[in-house]
Structure 1
Amino acid sequence: MTVNPLLSDWTTPFDLPPFETIAPEHFEEAFDAAMAEAKADTDRIADQEVAPTFENTIVALETSGKTLTKVARTFFNLTGAHTNEALQKIERDVAPKLAKHSSEMLLNSRLYGRIAALWDQRDSLDLNSEDARVLERYQKMFQRAGAGLDDAGKARMADISQRLATLGTSFSQNVLKDESDYQLVLETEEDRAGLPDFLLTSAAEAANERGLDSKHVITLSRSSIEPFLQFSTNRRLREEAFKAWSARGENGGQTDNRAIISETLKLRDEKARMLGFKNFAEFKLDDTMAKTPDNVRGLLVKVWEPAVAQAREEEAKLADMARNAGENHSIEAWDWRFYSEKVRKAEHDLDETELKPYLQLENIIQAAFDTATRLFGLTFKELKDMPVYHPDVRVFEVLGKDGNHVGLFLGDYFARSSKRSGAWMSAFRSQHRLEGDVTPIIVNVMNFSKGAKGEATLLTFDDARTLFHEFGHGLHGLLSNVTYPIISGTSVSRDFVELPSQLYEHWLSQPEVLSKYAVHYKTGEPMPEALLDKLLAAANFNQGFATVEYTASALIDLELHQLEDPAELDVAAFEKEELGKIGMPQAITMRHRIPHFQHVFSGDGYAAGYYSYMWSEVMDADAFEAFEEKGNVFDPETAGKLLTYIYSAGGRQDPEAAYLAFRGRAPRIDALLEKRGFAA
């Protein structure tokens, strides 16, 4: 029988998964074996006859199930970034099995009894602050999973978890299917009218990948469809493409997500009520910085009102621009980006086609690396011939200021049909020090449109900001310096986790970064100072639109998870009614409409938590001011505090305490309003 590489010791460089020897069928056997091993580990800990100690219970749990962690991380990184039908079938099969396995551990009354006993004795255990934090996280994790329920309650909770896992997997796969099935083939000059060379190049590359040589294809990848909506003068095709983008997950048939949404919300609500909460939003927010739905709504409404006012002013300018061009139609959602680009050109003498030649992917990667060097002393060395899951994936060794190995960073930058949309950071391995010095293996996944063969890949400024954002997450994982896996890297409160990523975006806009790395891809000439000035002056252009489309999604997410009877939900009617209540401008749609809102329904990571980006933005705007106040955006003392209290600390302490330790005070919401160009 062939040896399963997932169940063998890896002899690859840096213990990277041996991707070239892993076949989909290996995962089925590996998951079964790894879950059995993990269950045996858990039972051994739970059934000890000796009294519980921090070492024989908490530390033992932290070192249990290692094979399952390795297998699951390899698998789910693949299903997100480079999936296929075989992997998707296994994902559908394994999701409820993993949920059942997790429930069996979290609802194990003997195990919970040991943790509860330690919690009751915590003041006499002589724990250091990190140990105490880990014990607290275990106590809370088990309680929130239902470990304190009676047997009937535990059984129902396990059923709910398994069903939610199945629903989340189906939701995600349905969206990917709708995205990968759609292609807008541009056949004629009229179809291609107005499109700049960089978009035609990437559209030709997308067509080649689909076997449509000599044609051009627009896909539903954000880096393909957004510039199409921005530049296409063919309003009929803009409307067609936008409606396809907007309708993902609600096209009827097997990929329609509306029934999944209703059942998911019903089960989440039932789970929350079983645990003593009024609704799922109250349950979810109880373990965050925000604490309550009212606190979240208070922040969102404070930003919503000036954002809508500004968006309406922006819409009036777009309508004027359309009329001046002889167009008498009202501004629709598929018109906004098109006329917005024209207004930006008129007001700031700036357009995307002028910027893009200066924003080469390779240079923006180097800009992100150089920023990390200047802030934290890291250096990055590209490694060739490493095992990777796709030829486009690049591997970099990360070294500390002392030259020692810190971890590996993988960059997977290009869109493809086997990859889900969006951009994210993940880990093949997290840092910890429980069994030697385990270093992290971190991956950033993007969906940029690839340049033609032999040509540079050019980014929009928004693409470049996305790269910096995800690299900020990556640094949060790479710089982690904790003892325990449960608090490693990005294992922090959901409304704190976006702080390191959003804060990192600020450095992209600094003139000393752009002047060095924004150079023309053909001539090598730096971006002209006048163009750089125009770019920075236009930083808050269209901010009303951007804030409205995001905040509407966050408000809808919050309301969905406070419904009294989610089983009766009509998704389209609810969305229309709620947007009407808050005064959503007709020409703007939510950044993520409910049927394809993967943050919220592909799992519950951001469920009742999409507001987190804005909650963290209050902190990131205020935190960057700490550098500006020093007159040096790379101030060594401030960077040292940032490393100590934010980037390396993981979940070692309460997030409010972590921010206070860095900044010396609580964040000011005025910093957020000022950053977005709204009057404070």
Structure 2
Amino acid sequence: MKKFYFVLLFSSVLFMATKQVDPTEDNPFFKEYATPFEVPPFDKIDTTHYIPAFERGFAEQQAEIDAIINNADAPTFENTIMALENSGKLLRKVNLVFGAVSGANTTKALQNINRKISPLSTKHRDNINLNDKLFARIKTIYDNRLTSNLDAEQLRTVEKYYDDFIRSGANLNETDKQKLREMNQKMSALGVRFGDYQLEETNTNFVMVIDNIKDLEGLSKDDIEAAAITAKQMKMEGKWAFTLQKPSLLPFLQYAKNRELREKLYKGYYMRGNNNNKFDTKEIVAQIYNLRLERAKLMGYKTYAEFGISNNMAQTPENVYKFLNDIMTPTMEMAIKDRAEMQKI
């Protein structure tokens, strides 16, 4: 009898050890949010959930794109434009949460995820925007838009999709498409580096320490207590520390009466990335500028400004300057009046 129980126990342990457990089964992104208004359950999402969700999101949307381009029916608004519009739901779901969390409360782990996902996201986006078969279907709908009984919203949607694909390089030859892919990958990597450096500058490279309570005049009790806590955390108890984080920065700039200290803190903020240290971003900015210029020229424009504004109301840089020059005189007159009123206060 004992032998039977031993064999049964051994078999159970062996079964549990060899059972295939899906590591993604508890991933909140793979379920409907059971929350009021479908707000993401941030308390249940951790860093291990993002990469599997991104990878599945890329795969799902690519499958949806493949279904669109392999549809044997003639291209229509419904089977192409709307199908494309509705694709990538999981990817949007993950992107919204990851962007919000990274922007508000990033960590080293989230930064590492961003470094991994950013080039994959760029590649995925290019695979869609530079897909010849997909663009051919969109172009067919665009060319026939005026005779397809589309309402005003549908017509604008078709025109917007067509324009976006053109601006993303869909009409380039294969050699230029490959150049564009390489540029986009470089800009993606540079964008991540720029963000990382800015974050380091914000979090670690500047702190304004005050040891004279008179220099805190104008600040609220809560702001002063917060600065004291920050100083204590930095092992400077009895002083007040102000950082470039917005909850610390903004109240001081708004309410502190010491003008010199306001200027010092503000300069610390706007000089981020321009301190000639290991987090200096001048070289990164120069590379991004050159890549944007190269990209604009590849698209047939003289400058990135010309490319960037060509689908906006002004349409050309010259129109922007004309608009600014036209409002310069009346704007200065009002600014002088406002200054005079503020100085009376």
How far off its partner does 1:239 sit? 4.9
Kept in 2: contact 1:204–1:217 (CA 8 A): no
Q: Which runs of 5+ in 2 are unaligned?
A: 1-22
1:322-341 equivalences in 2 (<5 Å) = none
Residue 187 to residue 234, structure 1, CA distance change in 2 (3 Å): farther
The equivalent of 1:193 in structure 2 is 215
How far off its partner does 1:100 sit? 1.0
Cα RMSD over matched residues?
2.6
How far off its partner does 1:194 sit? 5.6
Alignment-mate amino acid for residue 275 of structure 1 = M
Matched, 1:56 2:79: yes
Q: What TM-score results when the alignment is normalised by the length of structure 2?
A: 0.83
Residue 197 to residue 250, structure 1, CA distance change in 2 (3 Å): closer
Residues matched between the structures, number: 317
How far off its partner does 1:302 sit? 3.2
**The one of 164, 186, 190 aligned to 1:163:** 186
Q: What TM-score results when the alignment is normalised by the length of structure 1?
A: 0.44
Alignment-mate amino acid for residue 241 of structure 1 = L
Structure with greater helix share of residues: 2
How far off its partner does 1:307 sit? 5.4
How far off its partner does 1:226 sit? 5.4
The equivalent of 2:9 in structure 1 is none
Cα distance in 2, alignment partners of residues 242 and 16 from structure 1: 36
Q: Which runs of 5+ in 1 are unaligned?
A: 318-342, 349-680
1:31-50 equivalences in 2 (<5 Å) = 31-50=54-73
Kept in 2: contact 1:107–1:147 (CA 8 A): yes
How far off its partner does 1:299 sit? 2.0
Kept in 2: contact 1:54–1:118 (CA 8 A): yes
Alignment-mate amino acid for residue 208 of structure 1 = I
How far off its partner does 1:227 sit? 5.2
How far off its partner does 1:162 sit? 2.2
Kept in 2: contact 1:6–1:26 (CA 8 A): yes
Residue 90 to residue 282, structure 1, CA distance change in 2 (3 Å): same
How far off its partner does 1:221 sit? 4.2
Cα distance in 1, alignment partners of residues 246 and 99 from structure 2: 22
**The one of 287, 293, 296 aligned to 1:269:** 293
How far off its partner does 1:154 sit? 1.1
Structure with greater strand share of residues: 1
Cα distance in 2, alignment partners of residues 62 and 154 from structure 1: 23
The equivalent of 1:14 in structure 2 is 37
1:633-652 equivalences in 2 (<5 Å) = none
**The one of 285, 291, 299 aligned to 2:309:** 285
How far off its partner does 1:222 sit? 5.4
Cα distance in 1, alignment partners of residues 336 and 272 from structure 2: 27
How far off its partner does 1:215 sit? 3.6
Deviations 1:599-622 (A, max 9, x none): xxxxxxxxxxxxxxxxxxxxxxxx
Deviations 1:108-158 (A, max 9, x none): 000000000111111221111111111111101111100001111111112
Residue 226 to residue 32, structure 1, CA distance change in 2 (3 Å): closer
Matched, 1:231 2:256: yes
Matched, 1:249 2:265: no
1:168 alignment partner, SS class: helix
Alignment-mate amino acid for residue 347 of structure 1 = K
How far off its partner does 1:206 sit? 4.1
Kept in 1: contact 2:230–2:242 (CA 8 A): no
The equivalent of 1:103 in structure 2 is 126
Kept in 2: contact 1:203–1:224 (CA 8 A): no
Cα distance in 2, alignment partners of residues 124 and 309 from structure 1: 52
**Structure having greater relative contact order (Cα 8 Å, sep ≥ 6):** 1
The equivalent of 2:46 in structure 1 is 23
Alignment-mate amino acid for residue 103 of structure 2 = G
User: Identity of paired residues, percent?
Assistant: 33
How far off its partner does 1:165 sit? 2.1
Alignment-mate amino acid for residue 222 of structure 2 = T
Cα distance in 1, alignment partners of residues 337 and 127 from structure 2: 55
